[in-house]
């Protein structure tokens, strides 16, 4: 049983109970149990089998029994029962901004509205205006909300969120009324997809700053405008919130709006346990305000080391920072070179030499070229002759490029039976091989896909496993497979796991990195670049690695060129000797 299925089940139970107007504290209990299980390092199935689920703080006897029953039978009677009471369309209605459980329930019970379509019709017929708690304005807002969720997927990729955030930062950053200003929210945390963008500013003239914000270039629509809080929609549909506070409040507000909500909840609980109270304006002991000029001081006051934004997901980071500890996290400057880029030999847009020079400009010591293999017809995969031509060109370039080295590699398709795409003697002539699935995954079930990946990992020529889950964010789900088994096999075979830094992939998922760390396997932060700007995607990869708590030593491409060359040789030799 997948942990995420348990977490989703508990979340859905909480939501449905809320819609059914059950005790809000009971609802919260399910929510916090769900979060606690999501954040736990423990083997949930094992704890369930030994009746020890209540060891997890936030999981009591009742929920523990439910989860255990769910794991055993694969179905949750409680959830089924709740689902039978709430039409699915009613749950869908809650996606509309401004509709929470209470209002949705009113629409459902008072107006017999059971789906988004019926709601849209009712608004068009002006039938909500007379309903208690609603009015003309809410009717309009609901219609706009429906249009919005139809027009835009509810989430955006990280780069789109960053672009919107930087646009606002640029138009407000130089204003004399702005004292400090920073991007907060999920963009700052480096989440792979974001729902909206949060920006925090300090000022003594908030009204002026708010004026600038709602009239900034690129703003399409103003949603809200208070004295301290405003919200707009940018062209392209990204929702941006701005919060303006006094400068002494700024670090607390920045921390608060960086979130995550779960991290904040845990931090406030910690403050409370230490006899303090924390909110977005400050930290207080009794009525006395505790001065902190930076986020670092806030963490310090609470007996913690600085927790970088990427880590703030309440997935163990607070325990790790206990006593002032600050576990090292990889930074972009730690990368000494990169693997996995494409050139005009296959579907890249730049020549080998142009890409090499672009890497040199970025201060890297080496690059590992990995064009597509011959099965990837659609991407101009390389024939054996193409590979040889490329190899000759690399030899020439390695002669003339001063202080830079190109490693010879390929991104070999993992064929349906798990074998690689070239004969062994060809693979043996390469410095490294990235093995990736690109084709024939749609009909594979979990067992078959796992076997296929395992077979590829077992090849002594496989150096790295490329984009392990195959997901395309907001577009394609990961293929089904046993990730735990794949990670263990990689560790055992010394196969490096790719963290594909393309912002549409960010694959392996950072949530798996804790597991990778435990097995001792290494990751490589690979740009998978097809053009020059794609090289800078490693920045997204670094953020994802940091979210997973990855130290520089765990990242293959933090090694310098000589060490990488030696390591590639040594690994190949060890595996051929096995």
28 binds DNA (CB under 7 A): yes
Q: Does 241 bind DNA (CB under 7 A)?
A: yes
Inter-residue long-range contacts of 209-212, CB under 8 Å, 24+ positions, other chains counted: 209/172, 209/175, 209/177, 209/178, 209/242, 209/244, 210/242, 210/244, 212/171, 212/172, 212/175, 212/177
196 binds DNA (CB under 7 A): yes
Residue 457 and residue 465 in contact, taking contact as beta carbons nearer than 8 Å:
yes
Binding range to DNA, per CB under 7 A, among 1-9, 28-36, 298-306, 562-570: 28-36
Site string for DNA, 39-78 (x = CB under 7 A): ---------------x--xxxxxxxx--------------
> Considering beta carbons, is residue 272 or 391 the nearer one to DNA?
272
Q: Is 200 helix (H, G, I), strand (E, B) or coil?
A: strand
Q: Could you identify the residue written with the tokens 């030799």?
A: 573
Comparing CB distances to DNA, the nearer of 174 and 286 is 286
**From residue 149 to residue 188, what is the string marking binding to DNA with x (rule CB under 7 A)?**
------------------------------------x---
Cβ closest to DNA, residue 36 vs residue 356: 36
- Cβ at position 128, least distance to DNA in Å: 8
Task: Note whether 249 binds DNA by CB under 7 A.
Answer: no
Q: Tell the smallest beta-carbon distance from residue 311 to DNA (Å).
A: 18
Out of 193, 279, 301, 398, the only residue in the binding site for DNA (CB under 7 A) is 279
237 vs 380, beta carbon nearer DNA: 237
CB of 14 or CB of 437, closer to DNA: 14
Contact 348, 355 (CB under 8 A): yes
Task: Identify each DSSP E strand in 403-476 by its residue range.
Answer: 405-413, 432-436, 464-465
Q: How far is CA 226 from the centre of its chain?
A: 31
Q: Report the alpha-carbon distance of residue 125 to residue 128 in Å, rounded.
A: 8
280 binds DNA (CB under 7 A): yes
Binders of DNA among residues 420 to 439 (CB under 7 A) are none
C-alpha 114 chain-centroid distance: 33
Q: Between 135 and 173, whose beta carbon lies closer to DNA? A: 135
At 297, list the tokens.
Answer: 């001081």
Question: 200 vs 434, which CB is nearer to DNA?
Answer: 200
- DSSP type of residue 495: P
CA–CA distances in Å: residue 16 to residues 22, 39, 105, 131, 567: 9, 22, 11, 23, 54
Interface residue with DNA, options 161, 259, 348, 368 (CB under 7 A): 259
Give the closest residue to 252 by CA, choosing from 274, 281, 231, 230: 281
Tell me how far, at minimum, the Cβ of 283 lies from DNA, in Å: 11
Tokens of 352: 């080998």
* Number of residues forming the site for DNA (CB under 7 A): 60
Q: Among 268-276, 326-334, 368-376, 427-435, which window interacts with DNA (CB under 7 A)?
A: 268-276
Q: Within positions 87 to 146, which residues make up the interface with DNA, using CB under 7 A?
A: 94, 96-104, 132-139, 141
Cα separation values, 414 from 7, 333, 410, 481, Å:
32, 32, 12, 15
Do residues 522 and 503 make contact, with C-beta atoms less than 8 angstroms apart? no
Alpha carbons 47 and 465: distance in angstroms, whole number:
31
Q: Which stretch binds DNA (CB under 7 A): 262-270, 459-467, 540-548, 556-564?
A: 262-270
Closest CB to DNA among 51 and 102? 102
- Minimum distance between the CB of residue 139 and DNA, rounded to whole angstroms? 7
Q: Which is nearer to DNA, 267 or 397 (CB)?
A: 267
Residue 141 CB, shortest distance to DNA, in Å, is: 5
Residues contacting residue 396 through CB under 8 Å, at least 6 positions apart: none
Nearer Cβ to DNA (57/569):
57
Distance in Å, CB of 185 to DNA, minimum: 6
Dist CA 544 CA 537 (whole Å): 11
Q: Rule CB under 7 A: which of 296-335 touch DNA?
A: none
Contact between 549 and 513 under an 8 Å Cβ cutoff? The reply is yes
Give the footprint of DNA on residues 215-234 (CB under 7 A).
224-229
Least gap, CB of 63 to DNA (angstroms): 3
Nearer to DNA, 62 or 519 (CB): 62
Q: Please, what sign has the CA dihedral across residues 306, 309, 310, 316?
A: positive
Q: How far is the CB of 88 from DNA (least distance, A)?
A: 18
CB 410 within 8 A of CB 434: yes
Minimum CB separation of residue 492 from DNA in Å reads: 37
Residue of 70, 156, 252, 257 interacting with DNA (CB under 7 A): 257
Structure letter (DSSP) for residue 56: S
Considering the complex, what minimum distance in angstroms separates the CB of residue 184 from DNA?
Answer: 8
- Pick from 272, 294, 383, 563 the residue near DNA by CB under 7 A: 272
What gap in Å lies between CA 396 and CA 74, rounded to an integer? 60
- CB of 517: closest distance to DNA in angstroms? 27
Q: Which is nearer to DNA, 109 or 389 (CB)?
A: 109
Alpha helix (H) ranges present in 414-522? 424-428, 446-458, 483-493, 513-519
Which residue from 171, 193, 246, 265 is in contact with DNA, where contact means CB under 7 A? 265
Whether the Cβ atoms of residue 246 and residue 286 lie closer than 8 Å to each other: no
Q: Which two tokens stand for residue 458?
A: 């077992």
Stretches 146-154, 193-201, 309-317, 466-474: which one binds DNA (CB under 7 A)? 193-201
- Contact in structure between 338 and 359 (CB atoms under 8 Å): yes
CA distances from 420 to 157, 348, 411, 489 (A): 32, 21, 10, 17
495 binds DNA (CB under 7 A): no
Please provide residue 412's backbone torsions phi and psi, each rounded to the nearest 5 degrees: -85, 130
Give contact residues for DNA (rule: CB under 7 A). Answer: 23, 25-26, 28-30, 32-33, 54, 57-64, 94, 96-104, 132-139, 141, 185, 195-196, 198, 224-229, 239, 241, 257, 259, 261, 264-265, 268-269, 272, 277, 279-281
């Amino acid at each position: 049983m997948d942990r995420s299925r348990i977490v989703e089940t508990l979340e859905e139970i909480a939501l449905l109970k809320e819609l059914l107007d059950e005790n809000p504290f009971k609802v919260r209990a399910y929510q916090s149990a769900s979060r606690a299980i999501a954040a736990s390092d423990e083997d949930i199935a094992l704890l369930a089998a030994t009746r020890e689920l209540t060891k997890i703080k936030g999981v009591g006897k009742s929920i523990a029994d439910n989860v255990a029953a769910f794991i055993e039978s694969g179905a949750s009677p409680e959830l089924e029962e709740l689902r039978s009471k709430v039409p699915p369309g009613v749950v869908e209605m809650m996606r509309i901004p401004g509709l929470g459980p209470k209002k949705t329930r009113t629409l459902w019970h008072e107006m017999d509205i059971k789906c988004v379509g019926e709601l849209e019709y009712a608004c068009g017929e002006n039938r909500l205006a007379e309903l208690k708690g609603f009015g003309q304005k809410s009717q309009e807002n609901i219609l706009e909300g429906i249009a919005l969720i139809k027009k835009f997927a509810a989430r955006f990729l990280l780069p789109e969120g960053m672009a919107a955030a930087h646009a606002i930062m640029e138009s407000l950053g130089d204003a004399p009324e702005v004292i400090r200003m920073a991007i907060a929210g999920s963009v700052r945390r480096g989440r792979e997809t974001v729902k909206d963008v949060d920006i925090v500013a300090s000022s003594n003239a908030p009204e002026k700053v708010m004026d600038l914000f709602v009239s900034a270039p690129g703003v399409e629509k103003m949603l809200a405008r208070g004295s301290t809080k405003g919200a707009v929609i940018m062209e392209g549909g990204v929702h941006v919130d701005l919060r303006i506070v006094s400068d002494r409040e700024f670090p607390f507000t920045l921390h608060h709006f960086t979130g995550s909500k779960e991290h904040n909840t845990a931090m406030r609980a910690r403050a409370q346990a230490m006899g303090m109270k924390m909110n977005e304006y400050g930290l207080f002991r009794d009525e006395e305000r505790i001065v902190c000029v930076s986020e670092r001081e806030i963490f310090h006051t609470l007996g913690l080391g600085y927790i970088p934004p990427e880590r703030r997901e309440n997935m163990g980071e607070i325990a790790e920072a206990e006593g002032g500890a600050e576990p090292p996290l990889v930074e972009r400057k730690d990368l000494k070179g990169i693997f996995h880029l494409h050139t005009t030999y296959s579907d890249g847009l730049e020549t080998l030499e142009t890409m090499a020079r672009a890497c040199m400009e970025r201060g890297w010591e080496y690059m590992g070229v990995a064009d597509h293999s011959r099965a990837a017809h659609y991407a101009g995969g390389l024939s054996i002759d193409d590979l040889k031509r490329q190899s000759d060109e690399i030899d020439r370039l390695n002669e003339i490029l001063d202080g830079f080295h190109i490693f010879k590699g390929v991104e070999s398709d993992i064929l349906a039976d798990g074998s690689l795409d070239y004969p062994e003697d060809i693979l043996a002539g390469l410095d490294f091989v990235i093995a990736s699935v690109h084709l024939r995954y749609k009909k594979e079930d979990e067992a078959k896909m796992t076997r296929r990946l395992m077979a590829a990992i077992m090849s002594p020529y496989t150096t790295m496993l490329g984009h392990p889950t195959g997901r395309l964010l907001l577009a394609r789900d990961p293929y089904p497979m046993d990730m735990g088994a794949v990670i263990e096999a990689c560790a055992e075979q010394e196969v490096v796991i790719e963290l594909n830094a393309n912002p549409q992939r960010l694959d392996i998922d950072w949530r798996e990195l804790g597991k990778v760390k435990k097995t001792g396997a290494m990751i490589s932060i690979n740009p998978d670049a097809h053009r020059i700007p794609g090289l800078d995607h490693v920045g997204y990869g670094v953020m994802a690695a940091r979210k997973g708590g990855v130290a520089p030593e765990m990242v293959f491409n933090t090694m310098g060129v000589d060490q990488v060359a030696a390591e590639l040789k040594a690994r190949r030799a060890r595996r051929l000797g096995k």
